[in-house]
């Protein structure tokens, strides 16, 4: 009985404690209640102690242990006295597995926490890459509406990405791109011109890809990446216009130069040539009998005049080869090469050309002749060559016929990429490009190959486009 009385007193005490706790929980506190101020582990310990105390008091009040023991003694054959040990063992095993399961759960929570942090970091990096990139990135539906874009795309579209429709901006090109994305993963466009809402010029380098956002959905969006090249495109277009103007000016300047050379050569031939001839005739008519010194001086003067005449012929030939006007390009180059071989007999020079060329345009003939003339001059001055090969080849093209001029030597060579002090090579390049042709120089360890292609029998529009 004393145990029952003490258990009753304890039960009353626990009842009072529960009432106090309930009163404290319902009493409003302007700051924090007692229960919320303590930590969760402390609250768990308190709840566990309360449950254990409640079970103990309930067992003491109802004498459950004595009743169980009396019932077990009445059924001793069932070995029920071993039942507490079994329960203790079962409780211990349950606690053991619970602790292990708790460790596994804690490890799983930690792994998920780490994975979540890594996912958040990866999402932050991709968000930074998407928003801070210089290229314009966007996601659009098949109707061309912008679903998502980064600030770079919004800036290059004139801050009007919300109202921009790519289907309207690209026109028929958008439908072609959608069709291509049905059979390929991506479409690359080196230069794409779009129409901005403010009608400003907009040229981009684009890559468009298709991506299925939801495997269970048939809705397919288009992912795009734009690099704005509007300024570069406008600058290139302006440079192209300036280049065409410069080529036209260079072509006109060379025509004026050739015409002036022709006039100078004609004036020298007509004026100086006839006076030199008159001097020689006058010298030949002088009496030589009885005046030996007159004959001697006239011979000297005649020799000087002849030398001047040869120099004048060479000057006229350099200014404007008469064979070029009289016989054409093949005869003029043949005379040029023969004269050069006479001046440089130690160098072997081979000339390969077709003497049955039909009449070429005057501009083409002059440019080809000047290329061969300047190349031979450079070889004589700088190449230290033993062999020279000159080729003139005519081919028939679709838009125009092409004359190829090639001069090759086996001299010391040079680096064509380094700047040079002279203007011979640059002058040849300007002449060729002014006529719409191409000019190339190749030089390796030894020797130089100069080649030029000149179109002719073509309209000025074709030359300008080339």
Q: Lowest mean pLDDT: which of 60-69, 233-242, 410-419?
A: 60-69
Winning range, highest mean pLDDT, from 11-25, 97-111, 411-425: 97-111
β-strands 221-228, 136-140: how paired? antiparallel
Is the model more confident about 253 or about 20?
253
pLDDT at 210: 82
pLDDT at 439: 92
Q: Lowest mean pLDDT: which of 84-93, 199-208, 353-362, 434-443?
A: 353-362
Rounded-to-integer distance, Cα 298 and Cα 292, Å: 10
Give the C-alpha distances (Å, rounded to integers) separating 306 from 273, 276, 287, 309: 11, 8, 20, 5
Cβ-count burial 247-278 (b if 16+ within 10 Å, e if not): beeebeebeeebeeeeeebeebbeeeeeebee
Helices (H) and strands (E) in the chain, counts: 16, 10
Rounded-to-integer distance, Cα 206 and Cα 225, Å: 6
Asked whether the beta carbons of 433 and 439 are under 8 A apart, the reply is yes
Q: Output DSSP code: residue 302.
A: H
How are the residues of the chain apportioned to helix, strand and coil, as percentages rounded to the nearest 5?
60, 15, 25
pLDDT-derived band of residue 117, with 50, 70 and 90 as boundaries? very high
Winning range, highest mean pLDDT, from 37-51, 71-85, 269-283: 37-51
Rounded (10°) CA dihedral 384, 386, 387, 388: 20
| Burial of residue 120, with CB atoms counted within 10 A of its CB: 0-12 exposed, 13-18 middle, 19 or more buried | exposed
Rounded-to-integer distance, Cα 199 and Cα 175, Å: 21
**Distance of alpha carbon 460 from the chain centroid:** 33
Q: Output DSSP code: residue 457.
A: S
Give the C-alpha distances (Å, rounded to integers) separating 335 from 228, 317, 329, 369: 57, 10, 10, 11
pLDDT at 387: 93
pLDDT-derived band of residue 214, with 50, 70 and 90 as boundaries? low
Is the model more confident about 446 or about 13?
446
Taking residues 54-61, report their average pLDDT: 81
Q: Using DSSP, state whether 282 is helix, strand or coil.
A: helix
Residue 452 has pLDDT above 90, yes or no: yes
Residue 6 has pLDDT above 50, yes or no: no
In sequence order, the 6+-apart residues with CB closer than 8 A to the CB of 359 are: 328
pLDDT at 24: 46
pLDDT at 14: 44
Is the model more confident about 325 or about 181?
181
Q: Output DSSP code: residue 364.
A: H
Taking residues 245-269, report their average pLDDT: 75
> Measured on CA atoms in the order 459, 463, 464, 466, is the torsion positive or negative?
positive
Residue written as tokens 């203790």? Answer: 88
Asked whether the beta carbons of 200 and 238 are under 8 A apart, the reply is no
Taking residues 96-117, report their average pLDDT: 88
Please calculate the CA angle 89-90-94 and round it to the nearest 5 degrees: 115
- Work out the percent of the chain whose per-residue pLDDT is above 90: 19
pLDDT at 79: 64
Question: Can you list the alpha helix ranges (DSSP code H) found in 320-352?
Answer: 322-326, 329-343
Q: Lowest mean pLDDT: which of 18-32, 88-102, 373-387?
A: 18-32
pLDDT at 448: 92
**Distance of alpha carbon 393 from the chain centroid:** 38
Taking residues 234-253, report their average pLDDT: 83
In sequence order, the 6+-apart residues with CB closer than 8 A to the CB of 349 are: 337, 340, 341, 387, 388, 389, 390
Taking residues 421-443, report their average pLDDT: 83
Rounded-to-integer distance, Cα 465 and Cα 459, Å: 10
Give pLDDT tens digits for 270-296.
Answer: 677 777 777 777 777 776 665 666 777
Return the structure tokens found at 102. 């708790």
Residue 245 has pLDDT above 50, yes or no: yes
pLDDT-derived band of residue 43, with 50, 70 and 90 as boundaries? confident
pLDDT at 257: 75
Asked whether the beta carbons of 202 and 193 are under 8 A apart, the reply is yes
CA proximity to 167, closest of 147, 140, 148, 186: 140
Averaged confidence pLDDT in the chain: 79
Please calculate the CA angle 110-115-118 and round it to the nearest 5 degrees: 125
Rounded (10°) CA dihedral 331, 332, 335, 340: -140
pLDDT-derived band of residue 17, with 50, 70 and 90 as boundaries? very low
Residue 80 has pLDDT above 90, yes or no: no
Give the C-alpha distances (Å, rounded to integers) separating 194 from 140, 226, 316: 15, 11, 59
Taking residues 11-28, report their average pLDDT: 47
Residue 58 has pLDDT above 90, yes or no: no
Rounded-to-integer distance, Cα 327 and Cα 321, Å: 10
Q: Lowest mean pLDDT: which of 40-54, 87-101, 305-319?
A: 305-319
pLDDT at 48: 78
Is the model more confident about 44 or about 350?
350
Taking residues 244-256, report their average pLDDT: 77
pLDDT at 319: 72
pLDDT at 288: 62
Residue 428 has pLDDT above 60, yes or no: yes
Residue 8 has pLDDT above 50, yes or no: no
Taking residues 64-87, report their average pLDDT: 70
Q: Lowest mean pLDDT: which of 64-78, 126-140, 191-205?
A: 64-78
């Amino acid at each position: 009985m004393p145990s029952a009385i003490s258990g009753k007193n304890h039960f009353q005490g626990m009842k009072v404690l529960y009432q106090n706790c309930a009163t404290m929980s319902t009493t409003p506190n302007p700051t924090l209640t007692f229960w919320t101020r303590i930590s969760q582990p402390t609250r768990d310990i308190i709840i566990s102690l309360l449950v254990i105390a409640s079970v103990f008091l309930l067992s003491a009040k109802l004498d459950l242990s004595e009743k169980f023991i009396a019932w077990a003694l009445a059924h001793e054959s069932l070995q029920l006295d071993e039942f507490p040990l079994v329960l203790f063992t079962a409780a211990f095993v349950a606690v053991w597995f619970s602790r292990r399961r708790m460790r596994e759960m804690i490890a799983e929570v930690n792994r998920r926490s780490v994975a979540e942090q890594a996912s958040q970091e990866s999402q932050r990096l991709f968000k930074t890459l998407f928003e801070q990139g210089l290229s314009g990135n966007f996601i659009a539906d098949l109707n061309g509406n912008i679903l998502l874009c980064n600030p770079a795309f919004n800036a290059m579209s004139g801050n009007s990405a919300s109202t921009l429709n790519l289907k309207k901006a690209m026109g028929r090109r958008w439908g072609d791109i959608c069709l291509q994305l049905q059979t390929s993963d991506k479409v690359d466009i080196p230069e794409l011109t779009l129409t901005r809402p403010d009608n400003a010029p907009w040229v981009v380098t684009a890559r468009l890809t298709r991506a299925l956002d939801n495997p269970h959905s048939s809705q397919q969006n288009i992912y795009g990446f734009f690099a704005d090249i509007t300024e570069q495109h406008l600058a290139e277009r302006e440079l192209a216009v300036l280049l065409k103007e410069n080529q036209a000016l260079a072509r006109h300047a060379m025509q004026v130069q050739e015409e002036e050379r022709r006039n100078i050569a004609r004036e020298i031939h007509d004026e100086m040539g006839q006076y030199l001839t008159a001097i020689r005739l006058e010298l030949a008519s002088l009496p030589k009998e009885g005046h030996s010194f007159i004959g001697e001086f006239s011979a000297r003067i005649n020799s000087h005049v002849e030398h001047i005449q040869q120099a004048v012929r060479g000057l006229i030939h350099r200014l404007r080869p008469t064979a070029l006007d009289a016989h054409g390009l093949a005869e003029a180059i043949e005379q040029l090469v023969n004269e050069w071989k006479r001046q440089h007999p130690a160098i072997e020079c081979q000339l390969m050309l077709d003497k049955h060329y039909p009449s070429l345009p005057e501009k083409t003939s002059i440019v080809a002749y000047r290329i061969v003339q300047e190349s031979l001059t450079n070889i004589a001055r700088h190449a230290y060559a033993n062999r020279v090969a000159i080729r003139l080849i005519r081919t028939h093209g679709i838009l125009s016929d092409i004359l190829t001029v090639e001069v090759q030597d086996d001299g010391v060579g040079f680096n064509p990429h380094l700047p040079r002090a002279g203007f011979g090579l640059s002058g040849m390049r300007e002449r060729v490009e002014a006529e719409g042709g191409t000019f190339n120089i190749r030089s390796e360890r030894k020797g130089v190959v100069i080649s030029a292609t000149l179109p002719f029998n073509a309209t000025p529009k074709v030359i300008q486009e080339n």
